[in-house]
Structure 1
Amino acid sequence: MSFDLPPLRNPRRTIGDRTFDFSRNVAVMAIVNRTPDSFYDAGTNYALEDAVAASLRAVEQGADWIDIGGVPFAPGDPLSVEEECERVVPVVQALREASDVVISVDTFHAEVARRSIEAGATVINDTTGLSDPDLAGVVAASDASLILVHSRAQPRTQFARPQYDDVATEVRDFLQSRVEQARAAGVPDERLFVDPGHDLNKNTMHSLELTRRLDVITELGLPTLVALSNKDFIGEVLDKPKRERLEGSLAAAVASILNGARVVRVHEVAETVAAVRMTEAILGLREPALLKHNMSDINER
């Protein structure tokens, strides 16, 4: 059996000081949330020094990319632009001074995006699919890239019992429309990524189907990001709390890579890097770090 990887229109990407060939590379994006109520770490990295330390630790563990967030996706009270900037911009500045790693900011506000890019962010990760009509224009006016994520609710609002006739096709069509919107604002294809938004206004069966049919999303020809790490669909499949979903998260990540994902957004960096690099080698995209076993005239122990 062979895996037919999706063709990409612009596989070679320069993001800040780093270059990726997504026809041969899978990028590992580490999550650093500077919020008191984050989904996974519940405020562990809320202090500025903790958020910066977590970012640098992820770089040491092999992360290619750090995604910094100041507002959870979950429903809740809105956060002002000023407060969101106070949370994320200092982390971006400190990390940029210390590393050439790709830095993205998870925001749906155009003004937060603008200030983050000025501070050194090289990607904006919009989990609301351009709910702010000015955001794409801000990205277009810079050298930054843009991640377009599928979700259906207005930011931070409830969306009970989501219904889809064909979740993969409907998500693809939504993303295609947002790609066209971003292009119209001046963001070229070579700076666009798409994300089907597992669990975002979707139930467990929807997220499983999106993983299984990810090829429908990768047909768009843009690098596809998957944000699966420790999500509720994994917890419901395995009946595990958030802190016990690593194995399920790794399995979902590997399945997604085999179906064409090219960026994986994760909490546990070292474990994911190992799984991703092994998957790349199985696909023939990466050479082994060593080649010694049964390569000499005697058997090595």
Structure 2
Amino acid sequence: MLLNKILNQTAPAQVMGILNVTPDSFSDGGKYTQTDKAISQVAMMIEQGATIIDIGGESTRPGAAEVSENDELSRVIPLVKLIKAHFDVLISVDTSKAEVMAEAINSGADIINDVRALQNDNCLEVIAKSNVPVCLMHMQGLPRTMQNNPQYENLIDDIMLFFQQRINVCQQAGIAKERIIIDPGFGFGKTLKQNYQLLAHLSQFKSLGLPILSGTSRKSMIGNLLNRDVEQRLAGSLTTAIIAAQQGANIIRVHDVAETVDAMKVLLALEQNV
């Protein structure tokens, strides 16, 4: 089973296709709010090689407004059910709300992807009662304020300590370590320099013995470095994806699935022939 291989870190880096069903996401806000367009996008990403679809009903871009629980449920849950009924693909739900997590799991979600690392009310309990894996992301601050002068004593050490603490909290709540994935949170409370420092030292997080998810696709760390608008960031996205995979990332979360799958195939061929 692919999910077990990902958790055991025995599969090649997998490509996770992003499906934002929000009106205000930084790259594709409003494109997939209609069900037929969302399903068409899922079908295309699967055909292009995505093995995981990550569904998000609330934008987490800098300055993003919060979304009500009911709105998020109405955006996400029907899609989870439709995708589960019609496609053979792993479904990840990107949420920080306990009720959305619970409903998503009941509807067939395979992974919960939480940018707040299960720190919101009742989230630990919901995941502990389930058997699904959870991705814990590091973020300094909150989406509205996270890019307002983020500071660290030591970037890598501080993020490592955060993960160690959250892993301990999860285990104490009854969530086995074997169910945890970590995401260092590129762009979430990090300066441009800090993002590239994090990318350069991503392999250090392998010491935690957990799968790593990397999400740099089309982000401002690329746009600000290259002075490129969102739709002009493919080259930068692919470069950071390749570097992340070389550093040991197990899941690459992207908007541009076909191109990233090609890049991962080239990297895999290189690794198998060295």
Q: Distance in 2 between matches of 1:279 and 1:270?
A: 14
Query: Is the deviation greater in 44-53 or in 102-111?
Result: 44-53
Work out whether residues 147 and 193 of structure 1, in 8 Å CA contact, stay in contact via their aligned partners in 2.
yes
User: Could you say which residue in structure 1 is the equivalent of 2:75?
Assistant: 87
* Amino acid paired to 2:236: G
Q: Deviations over 1:126-167 (max 9, x none)?
A: 01122214212212212211000000224x431311011221
Alignment partner of 1:132 is 2:98: no
Work out whether residues 214 and 244 of structure 2, in 8 Å CA contact, stay in contact via their aligned partners in 1.
yes
Unpaired runs of 5+ in structure 1? Answer: 1-12, 287-301
Q: Deviations over 1:218-266 (max 9, x none)?
A: 2111000000101100111211111011111111111111111111000
User: Could you say which residue in structure 1 is the equivalent of 2:31?
Assistant: 44
Q: Percent identity?
A: 34
User: Could you say which residue in structure 2 is the equivalent of 1:58?
Assistant: 45
* Amino acid paired to 1:88: V
User: Could you say which residue in structure 2 is the equivalent of 1:223?
Assistant: 211
Work out whether residues 56 and 95 of structure 1, in 8 Å CA contact, stay in contact via their aligned partners in 2.
no
* Amino acid paired to 2:196: L
Work out whether residues 172 and 217 of structure 1, in 8 Å CA contact, stay in contact via their aligned partners in 2.
yes
SS for the counterpart of 1:28 is: strand
TM-score when normalising by structure 1: 0.86
User: Could you say which residue in structure 2 is the equivalent of 1:115?
Assistant: 103
* Amino acid paired to 1:35: T
SS for the counterpart of 1:250 is: helix
Deviation at 1:285, TM superposition (A): 8.4
Deviation at 1:42, TM superposition (A): 2.4
Alignment partner of 1:253 is 2:245: no
Alignment partner of 1:145 is 2:133: yes
The structure with the greater share of residues assigned to helix is 2
SS for the counterpart of 1:276 is: helix
How many correspondences in the alignment? 271
* Amino acid paired to 2:67: L
Deviation at 1:180, TM superposition (A): 1.3
The equivalent position to 1:34 in structure 2, one of 21, 33, 36, is 21
Query: How large is the Cα RMSD of the aligned pairs?
Result: 1.7
Q: Distance in 1 between matches of 2:158 and 2:87?
A: 39
User: Could you say which residue in structure 2 is the equivalent of 1:211?
Assistant: 199
Greater Cα radius of gyration, structure 1 or 2:
1
Deviation at 1:14, TM superposition (A): 5.5
SS for the counterpart of 1:261 is: coil
Regions of 4+ moved over 6 Å: none
Q: Distance in 1 between matches of 2:183 and 2:64?
A: 23
User: Could you say which residue in structure 2 is the equivalent of 1:99?
Assistant: 87
Q: Distance in 2 between matches of 1:285 and 1:71?
A: 42
